Amino acid sequence: MGTLLQVKNLKTQFFTQDGVVKAVDDVSFDLDEGETLGIVGESGCGKSVTVLSVMRLIPQPPGKIVGGQVIFDGEDLLKVDDEEIRRVRGNKIAMVFQDPMTSLNPVLTINRQVSEALELHLGMNKDESRKRSIELLEMVGIPEAAKRIDDYPHQFSGGMRQRVMIAMALSCNPQLLIADEPTTALDVTIQAQIIELVKRLKKGLGMAVIWITHDMGVVAGMCERVIVMYAGHIAESARVSDIYADPRHPYTLGLLGSLPRLDAARKSKLTPIEGLPPDLINTPPGCPFAPRCAWVMDICHQEYPRLRGVGPGHEIACWANVKEGRA
Amino acid sequence: MSINEILLEVKGLKMHFPLTQGIIIQRQVGAVKAVDGLNFFIRRGETLGLVGESGCGKSTTGRAILQLYRPTAGQVLFEGQDLCKMGGERLRQMRRRMQMIFQDPYASLNPRMTVGNIIGEPMEIHNLAKGKEKQEKVQELLRVVGLNPYFSNRYPHEFSGGQRQRIGVARALAVQPEFIVCDEPISALDVSIQAQIINLLEELQAEFHLTYLFIAHDLSVVRHLSDRVAVMYLGKIVEIATRDDLYRSPLHPYTKALLSAVPIPDPTVEARRERIILVGDVPSPVNPPSGCNFHTRCPIAIPLCSEQEPAFADKGSGHWASCHRV
């Protein structure tokens, strides 16, 4: 399968009163057609800003994409004009946002909101788009779609609203679906419904998915490849089987160690990552994880480690050679 | 003090919030049955986990126990004394022995008070310490929760979420309580910080012999912390058992579905697991379904389930569940 999306040396910064926030700093990754990529990290690590930069949805000012390339289907999305990016957004690349309560317009009916993209991108008339919208709502599992299509968002529950968001995203058969923490605001049983839905739709439609989350468990169940981000950088990137069986970056190890697992053998003590997430304004030179790292060496404070391969398709940005156990 | 001594017992606890209509003359047109008849107990020194999805009434239960809401019906017996019948000075005296840690560390600390005042206030209210002694105790508490004792002159905005939650814990500990309701104390925090707070709560429990009611929606966290676990659905407890029993052999279909929905951070395990996907959403607590609350989403429901409410019964060795089918 060919490469669908190539992100090269992406840098996005926010110019605030307190200084320049380097939200995304030199991030590169590829995504194949039909592949599911998970981006994991804590709040403020730059995972949302990365995908918003891909869609060119960074509010400007204060934000600015200061460097890099986003090559989608052979074209650099950062170079095309506004007219062209609008043709890509919602059409070839679609996005589902975290909070289904606030990302639907409360004063428009579901029909208006789902039909909009169909009329805009596919040139359907009102009747056609309404018919297609009902089909889409049925596809994402909304009961009595034909009846409910004229309802307003407040008449839907959280899980149902997220289904509507997914229906909207899928309306133009996108090649890439970006899901930004789509299940974080939902309960576990509803989360399981949504994950199953996206897996099923992905299989049927053959689209690629970027799934952003802070939950390592969700990633294990649905992604093929994972990127772990920390402080605007990629810390580790690997196939999903490798990241859990053989994590090599201290931060990934820390994340896995600090999770209580439903299937853990005994009541064992958790090993948290000590310290606090970094301040992205005054980033010291060197590795941003160094102050919290158990494997820290002198060089970590001086120079940022470049991504290096440690196995097939497995890269880390770390000076240390982390194997099992503590340093 | 025996090990099996029951510290807190809840009998038939109901908390209904009235729904009114009309602007000047308000008529009651119904009630949100947030908590509808709970029976359980907590032994001294143990942690009871209370899990359920949003809106199931778990937080309301915690607040009703502490009398932050006055329950509609039922009893809350703390060492055999009914808190629901107490008021005024007597209740205030009892409140010293029960504290709460709140979910949102950004909303539960007064931004205009210094950390020292936040932690010191409960001591003053209960006449436990004053002046220099109070300051020393505040510094001691800050040290206990893993913060620098010299932070007591700072304001909450100078701290991160995890540090604020530590301040919230210190405030709860200030009056040397026996019982603490932890209402989702870690769900607003980042993953790497969550583990810090979980470990802190465990250490404090061992050091000060605390009894916890730990409210959470995260089943993995509850499993890690609890001795016994109660599962709530739509204002009722559907199952209660020791931690190992509940996670190893859940009886109620809702518990089974809930457990199967939790993602496990291991791709090989995930690939082999079978998921029970519940259909639909949680019904409204204003108008709960007839019979068993859960029958509208239950994969094994029979006609009887929509007619008759199942009894909450002991299914063997302290494993209680309310289901016609088990």
pLDDT digits (tens, 9 = 90+) for B39-75: 999 999 999 999 988 888 899 999 999 999 999 999 9
Q: How far is B299 from chain A (nearest CA, A)?
A: 13
What three-state secondary structure class fits B309?
A: coil
Once rounded to an integer, what is the mean pLDDT over residues B116-137?
90
Of B17, B101, B13, nearest in space to B65 by CA:
B13
Say what the pTM is. Answer: 0.84
Mean pLDDT of the residues in chain B: 89
Please name the residues in contact with A257: beta carbons below 8 A apart, sequence gap of 6 or more.
Answer: A270, A271, A272, A273, B195
Once rounded to an integer, what is the mean pLDDT over residues B85-108?
90
Which of A266-280, A283-297, B173-187 is most confident?
B173-187
Once rounded to an integer, what is the mean pLDDT over residues A247-254?
90
Once rounded to an integer, what is the mean pLDDT over residues B106-126?
92
User: Measured between CB atoms, which of B191, B268, B278 is closest to A255?
Assistant: B191
The confidence score (pLDDT) of residue A327 equals 40
Distance between CA B243 and CA B43 in Å, rounded?
A: 14
Contacts of B196 in chain A (CB under 8 A): 272, 274
Burial category of B97 from C-beta neighbours within 10 Å (exposed 0-12, middle 13-18, buried 19 and up): middle
pLDDT band at A245 (very low <50, low <70, confident <90, very high): confident
Closest chain B residue by Cα to residue A43: B190
A-B contacts at Cβ under 8 angstroms: 127
Contact A261 B162 (CB under 8 A): no
User: Measured between CB atoms, which of B160, B224, B266 is closest to A276?
Assistant: B160
The confidence score (pLDDT) of residue A238 equals 93
pLDDT band at B283 (very low <50, low <70, confident <90, very high): confident
B203-215 pLDDT tens trace: 999 999 999 999 9
**Which tops the pLDDT comparison, A260 or B99?**
B99
**Residues from B in contact with A at Cβ < 8 Å:** 53-54, 160, 162-163, 190-196, 198-199, 202, 217, 219-221, 223-225, 247, 257-270, 275, 277-278, 281-282
* pLDDT of A282 strictly over 80: no
* pLDDT of B104 strictly over 90: no
The confidence score (pLDDT) of residue A102 equals 82
Contacts of B217 in chain A (CB under 8 A): 187-188
Once rounded to an integer, what is the mean pLDDT over residues B101-112?
90
Question: Which single residue is written with the structure tokens 């002046």?
Answer: B131
The confidence score (pLDDT) of residue A286 equals 87
* pLDDT of A111 strictly over 70: yes
Contact B190 A193 (CB under 8 A): no
| ipTM of the complex in this document | 0.78
Once rounded to an integer, what is the mean pLDDT over residues B180-198?
88
The confidence score (pLDDT) of residue B66 equals 93
**Which tops the pLDDT comparison, B22 or B133?**
B133
With residues binned 3-state (H G I as helix, E B as strand, rest as coil), the percentages for chain A, rounded to 5, are 35, 25, 40
The confidence score (pLDDT) of residue A326 equals 44
Q: How far is B163 from chain A (nearest CA, A)?
A: 9
The confidence score (pLDDT) of residue B273 equals 83
Contacts of B282 in chain A (CB under 8 A): 187
* pLDDT of A269 strictly over 60: yes
Q: Give, rounded to a whole angstrom, the gap between the first and last alpha carbons of chain A.
A: 40
Please name the residues in contact with A33: beta carbons below 8 A apart, sequence gap of 6 or more.
Answer: A1, A2, A3, A4, A175, A206, A208
pLDDT band at A267 (very low <50, low <70, confident <90, very high): low
The confidence score (pLDDT) of residue B53 equals 86
Contacts of A181 in chain B (CB under 8 A): none
Contact B198 A270 (CB under 8 A): yes
Contact B192 A42 (CB under 8 A): yes
B233-254 pLDDT tens trace: 999 999 999 999 999 999 999 9
Contacts of B162 in chain A (CB under 8 A): 276
Contact B195 A264 (CB under 8 A): no
* pLDDT of A264 strictly over 80: no
Mean pLDDT is lowest, of A189-203, B77-91, B165-179, for: A189-203
Q: How far is A131 from chain B (nearest CA, A)?
A: 24
Contacts of A197 in chain B (CB under 8 A): none
User: Measured between CB atoms, which of A193, A221, A260 is closest to B224?
Assistant: A260
Once rounded to an integer, what is the mean pLDDT over residues A296-324?
86
User: Measured between CB atoms, which of B163, B192, B258 is closest to A272?
Assistant: B192
